């Protein structure tokens, strides 16, 4: 099955709102094995919307539409659908009753403008929206019609642009139906293996001749701040055959590079680190300079973080490094705040103060100012200490301030993962 994602709204076109809906929907479709051909964004222009309906239907079996279903004059998706499908509005009583109940629970009067959201195209099958006021709309376009001259029925699904409403409709209404309708279609299945502690070229050499393990399928190497991702793509006659091929290929890759693989698909780096720390009953404390608390945020993002995260210090100034963590003034004077020596003392000191199993530190030059020829912007030192050793590692990341801070956190998490997992 081929899918087109269509987002409608001036706010998306001008960058006022990031199109997170398309990213979420694309991933959800990919996980089902459906091929997403195109992401399209059009503003609130009636003719442009209609023209895009026609173009996307010429490419895809299903067009998933978000946005433009609100109660105000600039919400034009419903009007565009009426014109494109040569349709008229009818009152859908179940939607009207849903709106009355919703507004009553909110203690508000149902206005005429809001009640008009129960007026829906006669050719649609309404999709009840339990999370909001705008019903979803399911359209089946029969083959050989003016709107769909192809030899196969096609579908359009219109959903609200509010993310949690769209997700509700996709998960509870749309995906189950599409899964049933297209269950016999060829599928594309994906899985992504997450690696750490190995460079892209070294990983490629370790895996070797991919043609021997891929069965004619695809393998992509995707470098990221946290490590290289290996995305396996398999095309199969059905989901069962594709999943079986995925499993075989994954086993072959793990046989060659398994000790560098720490997770797969949407597992978050910090969540995996937290799980390993919890399983091994280890605790960690952090001392952060240039990242300003971002490492602590990452380590506490998952529920249950209190089992392994004891606390941290944002020691941005030299005085804070000395007074709060115990860095020696002579260390700062002789080597500077961004140095192996300071990173080591920060990691050792924070472990001592919190009595944690592991102490980890970050100090660096995030930029855009503060760099020198000896220590350019993007120079990062990460220290790590446990009962057996204290060490520090240098990273030169060289991005802008935001990127440098993100990569520093990724480097620290990577080092922590290696420490607790033994990779």
Instruction: List the domain boundaries for the chain.
Output: 2-181, 187-264, 269-421
- Per-residue pLDDT at 104: 92
Are the folds of 187-264 and 269-421 the same? no
- Per-residue pLDDT at 403: 87
The burial of 355, by beta-carbon neighbours within 10 Å (0-12 exposed, 13-18 middle, 19 or more buried), is given as: exposed
Report CA 272 to chain centroid distance, whole Å.
Answer: 16
Walk along the chain (423 residues) and give the pLDDT tens digit of each residue. Answer: 999 999 999 999 999 999 999 999 999 998 888 999 999 999 999 999 999 999 999 999 999 999 999 888 888 999 999 999 999 999 999 999 999 999 999 899 999 999 999 999 999 999 999 999 999 999 999 999 999 999 999 999 999 999 999 999 999 999 999 999 998 888 888 899 998 878 899 999 999 999 889 999 999 999 987 789 999 999 998 888 899 999 999 999 999 999 889 889 888 889 989 999 999 999 999 999 999 999 999 999 999 999 999 999 999 999 999 999 999 999 999 999 999 999 999 999 999 999 999 999 999 999 999 989 999 999 999 999 999 999 999 999 877 899 899 989 989 998 998 899 876
Residue whose C-alpha is closest to residue 339's, from 286, 393, 293: 393
- Per-residue pLDDT at 224: 80
d(Cα 118, Cα 126) in Å, to the nearest integer?
10
At the topology level of CATH, where does 269-421 sit? Maf protein (3.90.950)
d(Cα 121, Cα 78) in Å, to the nearest integer?
8
d(Cα 143, Cα 163) in Å, to the nearest integer?
32
SS3 content of the chain, % helix, strand, coil (to 5): 45, 25, 30
At the topology level of CATH, where does 187-264 sit? Alpha-Beta Plaits (3.30.70)
Residue whose C-alpha is closest to residue 282's, from 265, 297, 298, 299: 299
- Per-residue pLDDT at 239: 82
How far are the Cα atoms of 318, 327, 363, 406, 421 from residue 378, in angstroms, in the given order? 19, 22, 11, 11, 27
* pLDDT, tens only, 219-233: 999 998 778 999 999
CATH number corresponding to 2-181: 3.40.980.10
Residue whose C-alpha is closest to residue 207's, from 262, 254, 259, 261: 254
- Per-residue pLDDT at 398: 77
């Amino acid at each position: 099955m081929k899918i087109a994602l269509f987002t409608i709204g001036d706010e998306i076109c001008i960058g006022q709102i990031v199109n997170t809906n398309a990213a979420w929907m694309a991933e959800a479709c990919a996980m089902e094995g459906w091929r997403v051909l195109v992401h399209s964004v059009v503003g609130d222009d009636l003719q442009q919307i209609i023209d895009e309906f026609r173009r996307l239907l010429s490419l895809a079996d299903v067009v998933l539409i978000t946005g433009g279903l609100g109660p105000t004059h600039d919400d034009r998706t419903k009007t565009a659908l009426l014109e494109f499908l040569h349709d008229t509005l009818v009152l859908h009583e179940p939607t009207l009753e849903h709106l009355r109940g919703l507004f009553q629970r909110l203690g508000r009067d149902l206005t005429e403008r809001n009640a008009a959201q129960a007026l829906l195209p006669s050719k649609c099958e309404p999709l009840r929206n339990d999370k909001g006021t705008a019903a979803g709309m399911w359209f089946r376009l029969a083959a050989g019609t003016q709107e769909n001259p192809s030899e196969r029925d096609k579908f359009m699904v219109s959903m609200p642009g509010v993310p949690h409403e769209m997700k509700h409709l996709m998960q509870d209404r749309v995906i189950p139906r599409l899964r049933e309708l297209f269950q016999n279609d060829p599928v594309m299945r994906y899985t992504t293996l997450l690696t750490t502690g190995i460079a892209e070229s070294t990983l490629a050499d370790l895996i070797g001749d991919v043609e021997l393990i891929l069965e004619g399928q695809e393998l992509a190497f995707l470098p990221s701040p946290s490590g290289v991702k290996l995305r396996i793509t398999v095309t199969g006659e059905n989901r069962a055959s594709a999943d079986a091929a995925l499993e075989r290929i994954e086993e072959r890759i793990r046989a060659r590079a398994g000790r560098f693989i720490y997770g797969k698909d949407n597992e978050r780096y910090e969540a995996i680190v937290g799980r390993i720390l919890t399983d091994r009953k280890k605790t960690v404390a952090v001392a952060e300079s240039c990242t300003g608390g971002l490492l602590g945020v990452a380590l506490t993002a998952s529920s249950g973080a209190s089992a392994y995260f004891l606390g941290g210090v944002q020691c941005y100034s030299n005085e804070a490094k000395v007074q709060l963590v115990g860095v020696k003034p002579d260390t700062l004077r002789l080597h500077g705040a961004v140095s192996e020596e300071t990173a080591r003392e920060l990691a050792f000191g924070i472990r001592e103060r919190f009595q944690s199993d592991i102490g980890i530190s970050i100090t660096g030059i995030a930029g855009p100012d503060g760099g020198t020829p000896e220590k350019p912007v993007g120079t990062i030192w990460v220290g790590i200490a446990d009962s057996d050793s204290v060490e520090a590692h240098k990273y030169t990341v060289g991005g802008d301030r935001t990127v440098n801070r993100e990569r520093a956190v990724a480097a620290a998490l990577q080092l922590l993962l290696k420490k607790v997992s033994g990779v």
